[in-house]
A = this chain, B = another copy of it.
Amino acid sequence: MADEKPKEGVETENNDHMNLKVAGHDGSGVQFKMKRHTPLIAKDMEILIGLVPCRSMASKTPVGFIGLGNMGNPMAKNLMKHGYPLIIYDVFPDACKEFRDAGEQVVSSPADVAEKADRIITMLPTSINAIEAYSGANGILKKVKKGSLLIDSSTIDPAVSKELAKEVEKMGAVFMDAPVSGGVGAARSGNLTFMVGGVEDEFAAAQELLGCMGSNVVYCGAVGTGQAAKICNNMLLAISMIGTAEAMNLGIRLGLDPKLLAKILNMSSGRCWSSDTYTPVPGVMDGVPSANNYQGGFGTTLMAKDLGLAQDSATSTKSPILLGSLAHQIYRMMCAKGYSKKDFSSVFQFLREEETF
């Protein structure tokens, strides 16, 4: 889209109506307005300059990272690989050690992170943790600088995201929700998908950082819609996975060969990601958790958590989710019956158990 090499602070102008201003040598200051919900084409870009200087994007200034767990750890490392100095915090000091050893700065609270960095990424397990990190006694909001960009990649209730965004906005800063899709493997290889909600003008700024950690950064709309997109996808995923497991199990009991049935479904209207890419049935496909005793992949506990968020969102918006709700209960039960650490496709095994007398 922008052929000319941007220098620092250079402004490029397009004859028709596009203006691009690139404020950093890696393009980090590019800010452009997108037409809501349309794919990003060069033509849509406009210059947005307001926040750039105060967020010091002209050079790779430190980025705060809060939450260095299974996902946060490799994500932060990818930021390091792209040359960003980090300001690190985790409630478990051990989680920070690796980064301290690598020369990154470890501080003792989210507030301290906010004091030293004006771009911060949070990656936390639950809504409660996120609230604590932002609004707690030593939370980000205690010391957040005006104009800071706060990106929450936790998967939490969209209503909480909206709440946090309001508080952040009061402090003159910007909040975006950017939950990820893809597991630890994608986090390591920098191939996560980010679903981003927030003010559209800030998307490019977020994209600069998120692009270091993911191969796919999708703008979803206002704050909370990143969470919404993730929740909706995962709910549909859970439903079609259980559906695939039920259909395959029923077919096998009716005398069908599993591989043949999978083939038939995949060339018919029953086709779905769970049937054609991630089969829950051992012996049908290689390289998926079902081929490896349901090790690895996306854990049943995590799916149960995401379905809980879908449930909460559905209840608060009064949206009927009959299958989603039942899927939630099924994963809930699986967690209690020894499947918590297995991949969520183990629902096939759960349903498959034979009646004994």
Interface residues of A, Cβ cutoff 8 Å to B: 36-37, 158, 181, 193, 195, 216, 218, 220-222, 224-225, 228-229, 231-237, 239-240, 242-244, 246-251, 253-257, 259-261, 263-265, 267-275, 277-278, 301, 304, 308, 310-315, 317-330, 332-333, 335-338, 340-341, 351, 353-357
Asked whether A319 lies within 8 Å of B268 as measured between CB atoms, the reply is: no
Known A-B contacts A232-B251, A317-B250; A337 and B340 likewise in contact (beta carbons under 8 Å): no
Known A-B contacts A320-B329, A322-B330; A313 and B239 likewise in contact (beta carbons under 8 Å): no
Q: Which residues of B contact A37 (CB under 8 A)?
A: 257, 259-260, 263
Asked whether A264 lies within 8 Å of B319 as measured between CB atoms, the reply is: no
Q: Which residue of B250, B322, B324 contacts A324 across the interface (Cβ within 8 Å)?
A: B250
Q: Which residue of B lies closest to A334 (CB)?
A: B355
Q: Which residue of B lies closest to A277 (CB)?
A: B269
Cβ contacts A to B, 26 pairs, < 8 Å:
A36-B257, A37-B260, A220-B260, A221-B260, A225-B255, A229-B264, A232-B250, A236-B240, A237-B268, A237-B269, A239-B240, A240-B240, A240-B270, A242-B323, A243-B323, A246-B321, A249-B320, A250-B321, A268-B273, A272-B273, A312-B312, A319-B332, A320-B329, A336-B356, A337-B337, A341-B357
For the A-B complex with A322-B351, A336-B353 known, give 17 more contacts whose Cβ atoms are closer than 8 Å.
A36-B257, A193-B268, A224-B254, A229-B260, A232-B250, A232-B251, A234-B269, A236-B270, A239-B243, A243-B324, A246-B321, A250-B317, A253-B319, A270-B273, A271-B272, A322-B326, A332-B355
